[in-house]
């Protein structure tokens, strides 16, 4: 990690920059070509991309019930138990997000209310590759089921033998998801956007991915399909004071660095001793990390920053707006009150970010790349639409009607006013 000691605030913006991405325009053009190809050739295009990118020839793009049954038998009992417990925790936390929506009488005879309606068709994209993220399937599938979404479509890249990762299939069965498509990358997003013979079109797409998947999701919005949020490479910022355990801090930084070579980890501390000891711990732990090469590459774009006060550290963090924020400090609750921009916050020395990634109950699908300034992570609400209703009685129209007439005439919208006036006249005639 690069170390910066007491940088002037004029330098902070540069220190908060994410890793340079491949030329965005080039990525968008390649993704646009994939979208056009999938829209024109459908399943045939998906099979060609599976051979090109995944190295596998597929006959059937859909996972069969027999494949699911066989996969479940391959998942060790201990892992099944762990996934079921994580499922229960995630379910409990997200179920608590249900809200009772009561009718409100804004004026006598004027009643307004709101109703939550599930998004009817959702697509869940689960990356495969070197780390099949079955945990992300839990994070997306649980709120989708709680929301009552009628149609849930899962897409995930096939393995070299044409199968789907067995743990992903076990998790899908646990969630009651049976429409599972062997497709990854931008082509999977394109298929979910426009539909093919094998892939149902959806109304909203969820899930993380590489820069091509991220670009594809943003392109999907041009075709009227919503997405969960803009998302890119994983990131964590750790605020550590002199009470922090350097071994814990190093492990937290590495747990994000091992996600991918473009992940970013930031350590902010008011103790040079903690920074130095954490650096040493990173080197020690890297030596035994299976994904050391990936983590090492990520660390080249990561930084350790020495600042003077807790207020400075918090201010830096809020400007950076991290996906994950760990408060490895003596009084985390006090510092947490000042957090304004973060995807998810982890308080204290015994709250590793990894717990939120898997099983504490909170959702790990979070905004990255500074989007935590204006986006929230996935929640039950992400799978719901809020529709407002209103009912006005004759008495209510007499109360609210003149207000509407006055405002509509002031805006020069006479037809709006007339829609009220005609009704008021009808009410008056009935009362005679």
- As annotated, the binding site for substrate includes 234, 256, 259, 324, 357, 411, 416
Residues annotated within a binding site? 125, 187, 210, 234, 256, 259, 324, 357, 411, 416
Whether 391 and 357 have beta carbons less than 8 Å apart is answered as: no
Of 67, 323, 353, 405, which residue is the catalytic one? Answer: 323
Strand order in the sheet with 226-227: 179-182, 151-156, 121-125, 204-206, 226-227
Q: Give the H/E segment covering residue 400.
A: helix 394-410
Long-range CB contacts for residues 243-246, cutoff 8 Å, separation at least 24: 243/328, 243/329, 243/330, 243/349, 244/269, 244/271, 244/274, 244/278, 244/328, 244/329, 244/349, 245/328, 245/349, 246/274, 246/277, 246/278, 246/280, 246/281
Query: 322, 328, 303: which is closest to 4 by C-alpha?
Result: 303
Annotated catalytic residue 349? no
Residue positions counted in the chain:
432
Annotated catalytic residue 100? no
Whether 34 and 341 have beta carbons less than 8 Å apart is answered as: no
Tokens of 215: 């670009």
Q: Between the CA of residue 228 and those of 119, 129, 205, 362, 382, what are the distances in Å?
A: 12, 22, 6, 16, 7
Whether 136 and 127 have beta carbons less than 8 Å apart is answered as: yes
Whole-number Å distance between alpha carbons of 182 and 200: 13
- Give the three-state DSSP class for 5: strand
The full 3-state SS of 290-343, as one line of letters, equals CCHHHHHHHHCCCEEEECCCHHHHHHHHHHHCCCEEEEECCCHHHHHCCCCCCC
Of 94, 235, 301, 324, which residue is the catalytic one? Answer: 324
Whole-number Å distance between alpha carbons of 292 and 330: 30
Sign of CA dihedral 330, 333, 335, 339: positive
Q: Which residues does the annotation mark as catalytic?
A: 323-324
């Amino acid at each position: 990690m690069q170390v910066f000691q007491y940088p002037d605030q004029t330098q902070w913006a540069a220190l908060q920059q994410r890793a340079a991405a491949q030329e965005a325009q080039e990525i968008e053009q390649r993704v646009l070509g994939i979208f056009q190809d999938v829209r024109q050739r459908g399943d045939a295009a998906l099979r060609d991309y599976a051979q090109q990118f995944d190295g596998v020839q597929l006959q059937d793009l859909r996972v069969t019930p027999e494949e699911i049954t066989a996969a479940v038998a391959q998942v060790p009992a201990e892992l099944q138990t762990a996934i079921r417990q994580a499922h229960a925790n995630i379910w409990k936390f997200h179920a608590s997000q249900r809200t009772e929506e009561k009718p409100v009488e804004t004026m006598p005879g004027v009643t307004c209310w709101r109703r939550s309606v599930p998004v009817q068709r959702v697509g869940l994209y689960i990356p495969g590759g070197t780390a099949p993220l079955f945990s992300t399937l839990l994070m997306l599938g649980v709120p989708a089921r709680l929301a009552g979404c009628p149609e849930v479509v899962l897409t995930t890249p096939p393995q070299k033998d044409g199968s789907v990762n067995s743990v992903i299939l076990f998790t899908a069965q646990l969630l009651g998801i049976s429409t599972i498509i062997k497709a990854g990358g931008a082509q999977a997003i394109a298929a979910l956007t426009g539909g093919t013979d094998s892939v149902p079109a959806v109304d909203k797409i969820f899930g993380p991915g590489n820069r091509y998947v991220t670009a594809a999701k943003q392109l999907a919005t041009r075709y009227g399909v919503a997405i969960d949020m803009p998302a890119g490479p994983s990131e964590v910022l750790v605020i550590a004071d002199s009470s922090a355990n350097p071994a814990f801090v190093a492990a937290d930084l590495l747990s994000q660095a091992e996600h991918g070579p473009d992940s970013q980890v930031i350590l902010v501390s008011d103790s040079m001793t903690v920074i130095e000891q954490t650096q040493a711990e990173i080197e020690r732990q890297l030596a035994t990390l299976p994904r050391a090469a990936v983590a090492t590459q990520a660390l080249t774009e990561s930084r350790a920053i020495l600042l003077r006060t807790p207020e400075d550290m918090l201010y830096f963090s809020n400007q950076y707006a991290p996906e994950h924020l760990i408060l490895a400090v003596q009084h985390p609750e006090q510092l947490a009150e000042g957090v304004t921009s973060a995807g998810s916050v982890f308080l204290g020395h015994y709250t590793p970010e990894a717990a939120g990634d898997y099983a504490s109950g909170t959702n790990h699908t979070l905004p990255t790349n500074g989007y935590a300034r204006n986006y929230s992570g996935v929640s039950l609400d992400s799978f719901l639409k809020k529709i407002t209703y209103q009912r006005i009685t004759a008495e209510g129209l007499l109360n609210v009607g003149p207000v509407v007439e006055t405002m509509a005439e002031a805006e020069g919208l006479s037809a709006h006013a007339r829609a009220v006036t005609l009704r008021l006249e009808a009410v008056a005639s009935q009362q005679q």
